[in-house]
């Protein structure tokens, strides 16, 4: 993406799967919002629609895969990189890690080529080459074009922590990454491969024109709350939301009709969140009827406290407390149904999403839940959606449906017109 952007091309980035962190790098590098493509959460038509909509005005689309090429849900094909390649008729450039091997790299590549004949592997990039001698030992196979030989450079590796890579805004510099690809890859051949992709069509139209703004929705966006699907923002706007981005760490509670608190890393900013004016003001706003929706880190922030090295007071809206853990508590796709007890969820509404957290929420004995999961752990025993009369918190990072967004905005509009 960096190499193509440096050539003056408008690059539209995508990420297979429910990732939040990799897209932050894509967006920073390309200057265009990266989009998730996930058949489990979006369906095939949803993937095509997002791809078409986001690619408008771009010269080329680059899709970063997830895990191995053929790794889907529960060991199957669903939501794998290969699944997306098949949906979009996209050629695949396989990245083969050559560390610790030479000629065996060709056996690895041959296995990927033969595994699924419906996938077009148009080229391969050999990664982590130790030396010119290492490259010569691997050599050219002729099985598939080698588009690049990338040397091992530990100095450009990216730091990680408990939820994956650090966010792009925490990385001091990405300079030089594109030049490595320019120097070591045949980008002209890669562009030629992309230019030969056959046309694909939409099974249905992308949808109606966006509605006029009916309510102002505040979006928490800073170092503590930074996990969002860009499509969710589009869905809210499409259903009539005017979005206002603010920082709970630094800003006062904004004058809005509803709040959306995404996931992220509140656990890394607990003293600042405890001291923030926004944290103190949230409870009064919620008690006054302001619709508030929180996911994962947002859910934790809405409880009374988060326990880490010690207990830190949070917003105190939802009946429970959160506790950081050393072991992962939830990881994987989620599917659930609204029970109809929270105004923020339409009765019987189904939703899909993903959960990934190193924390537990301990609900009060009389706490109630707004959703029952058929897949995923949620907050407790397959229940998710801790709620009050105007607030809802879920461990699920949900992929918004039009029905959810419309209902949320309806509640916000009603609040604004009281």
Active site members: 296
Residues present in the chain in total: 418
Residue 152 per-residue DSSP state: P
Burial class from Cβ neighbours inside 10 Å (0-12, 13-18, 19+) for residue 261 reads: buried
Task: Give the CA distances from residue 322 to residues 79, 305, 317, 364, in Å, rounded to whole numbers and listed in that order.
Answer: 31, 6, 12, 11
Candidates 154, 160, 141, 144; CA nearest to 180 is 154
User: Is the distance from CB of 347 to CB of 339 less than 8 angstroms?
Assistant: yes
CB count within 10 Å of CB 136 equals 10
User: Is the distance from CB of 418 to CB of 401 less than 8 angstroms?
Assistant: no
Q: What angle do CA 186, 194, 168 make, to 5 degrees?
A: 75
* Rounded (10°) angle between helices 402-416 and 230-238: 60
């Amino acid at each position: 993406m960096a190499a193509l952007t440096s050539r003056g091309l408008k690059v539209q980035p995508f990420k297979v799967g429910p990732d939040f962190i990799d897209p932050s790098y894509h967006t920073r590098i390309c200057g265009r919002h990266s989009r998730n493509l996930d058949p489990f959460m979006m369906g095939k038509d949803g993937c095509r629609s997002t791809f078409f909509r986001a690619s408008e005005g771009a010269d080329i689309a680059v899709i970063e895969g997830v895990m191995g090429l053929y790794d889907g849900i529960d060991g199957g094909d669903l939501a794998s990189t290969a699944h997306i390649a098949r949906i979009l008729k996209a050629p695949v450039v396989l990245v083969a890690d050559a560390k610790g091997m030479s000629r065996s790299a060709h056996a690895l590549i041959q296995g990927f080529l033969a595994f699924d004949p419906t996938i077009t592997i148009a080229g391969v990039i050999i990664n982590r080459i130790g030396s010119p001698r290492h490259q010569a030992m691997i050599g050219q196979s002729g099985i598939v074009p080698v588009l690049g030989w990338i040397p091992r450079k530990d100095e450009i590796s990216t730091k990680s922590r408990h939820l994956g890579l650090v966010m792009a805004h925490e990385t001091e510099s990405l300079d030089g990454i594109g030049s490595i690809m320019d120097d070591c890859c045949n980008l002209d051949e890669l562009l030629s491969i992309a230019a030969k992709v056959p046309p694909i069509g939409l099974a249905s139209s992308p949808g109606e024109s966006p509605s006029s703004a009916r309510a102002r929705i505040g979006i928490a966006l800073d170092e503590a709350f930074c996990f969002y699907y860009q499509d969710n923002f589009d869905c809210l706007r499409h259903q009539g939301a005017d979005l206002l981005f603010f920082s709970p760490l630094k800003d006062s509670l904004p004058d809005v009709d509803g709040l959306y608190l995404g996931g992220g890393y509140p656990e890394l900013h607990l003293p600042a969140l405890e001291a923030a004016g926004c944290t103190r003001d949230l409870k009064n706003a919620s008690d006054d009827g302001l619709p508030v929706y929180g996911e994962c880190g947002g859910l934790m922030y809405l409880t009374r406290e988060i326990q880490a090295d010690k207990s830190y007071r949070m917003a105190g809206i939802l009946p429970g407390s959160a506790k950081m853990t050393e072991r992962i508590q939830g990881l994987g796709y989620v599917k659930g149904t609204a029970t109809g007890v929270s105004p923020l969820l339409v009765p019987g509404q189904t939703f899909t999403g993903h959960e990934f957290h190193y924390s537990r929420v301990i609900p009060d004995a009389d706490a109630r839940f707004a959703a029952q999961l058929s897949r995923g752990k949620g907050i407790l025993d397959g229940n998710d959606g801790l709620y009050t009369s105007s607030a809802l918190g879920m461990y699920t990072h949900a992929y918004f449906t039009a029905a959810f967004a419309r209902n949320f905005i309806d509640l916000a509009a009603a609040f604004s017109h009281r």
